[in-house]
Amino acid sequence: MSRFGYLFSLACGLCAAGYVTLYRLDDYSESRLIELAPLWVAPAAFGLAGLFALRTGAKSPLVFSLLATLLAEVLLVAFILGVFPLL
Domain spans in the chain, listed from the N-terminal domain onward: 3-86
Let me know the angle formed at the C-alpha of 54 by 9 and 11, rounded to the nearest 5 degrees: 20
pLDDT in tens, 28-87: 888 888 989 999 999 999 999 999 999 999 999 999 999 999 999 999 999 999 988 888
Cα 32 from Cα 35, distance rounded (Å): 5
Q: Exposure of 84 by Cβ count < 10 A (0-12 exposed, 13-18 middle, 19+ buried)?
A: exposed
- What is the pTM (predicted TM-score) of this model? 0.89
pLDDT score recorded for residue 87 = 81
pLDDT in tens, 1-26: 789 999 999 999 999 999 999 998 88
